[in-house]
Structure 1
């Protein structure tokens, strides 16, 4: 298999890295807010969203699962890295969160996340996401 196009590991202070980092942060903010309209706008129709327990969601399930809901009490992203391949960006980070549960309790997650973003009409849109568990 051959990759075509420009492949670049981005430094955290490059302009492209800043644009992709802004998209990652905007997604986090929309997830925290339960903002379905924002989640819909920043994801591609072909979205595949993989959870750390191997559960997969399409765009409709991802957006409706968070739309209007306060599913998260907090989300902290760290250990970022970005790679650019033509009009596709690969973002990786550690995702620590506090989840609000329906019974009023909370749970936490400590996972590693891979996101695939595609530039569409000058905006980064999430195409794929996969999480894997990390030791606590």
Structure 2
């Protein structure tokens, strides 16, 4: 009887760990899709889609130290003052803690900010928060590499 109780407890614990792991993998995939959507919208901006993807509390930090709120972030992309022609993301990791996701990656890009050709080589930290079932960009900080 004692062995059956221990076996049942072990099976129950393993089942819970598996379910939690599956939920985290599902969230990681959803965050990865949100990162991909952000990348595409940075190349081909759409105001309403950018506004839907970003949290109202967005804090967007550039590698220059410049900080933008949601409105300034969206306006910069839509106006072309921040203009990405290509973006390549590598070495991406996604960590989920409760309703928050931390994404780190390297970003290599061709830019044309205010019409001036350039390149960007950055290490980026993105913070995503799950709000009403959707992953929203809450914060971003980049540093030059």
Instruction: Give TM-score, length-normalised by structure 2.
Output: 0.78
Matching residue of 1:63: 74
Q: RMSD of aligned C-alpha atoms?
A: 1.8
Matched, 1:42 2:53: yes
Matched, 1:111 2:125: no
Consecutive unaligned residues in structure 1, runs of 5 or more: 1-9
| Higher RCO (Cα < 8 Å, 6 or more apart) | 1
Between stretches 120-129 and 60-69, larger displacement belongs to 60-69
Match of 1:74 among 70, 86, 89: 86
Shift of 1:44: 0.7
Contact 1:35–1:68, Cα closer than 8 Å, also in 2: no
Q: Write out aligned runs for 1:1-136 (5 A).
A: 14-67=25-78, 69=80, 71-103=83-115, 105-134=116-145
More strand as a share of residues = 1
4+ residue runs of structure 1 moved beyond 2 angstroms? none
1:31 aligned counterpart, secondary structure: helix
Determine the C-alpha separation between the residues in 1 that align with 2:53 and 2:79: 16
Consecutive unaligned residues in structure 2, runs of 5 or more: 1-20
Q: How many pairs were matched up?
A: 122
Contact 1:36–1:68, Cα closer than 8 Å, also in 2: no
Shift of 1:101: 3.7
Instruction: Give TM-score, length-normalised by structure 1.
Output: 0.83
More helix as a share of residues = 2
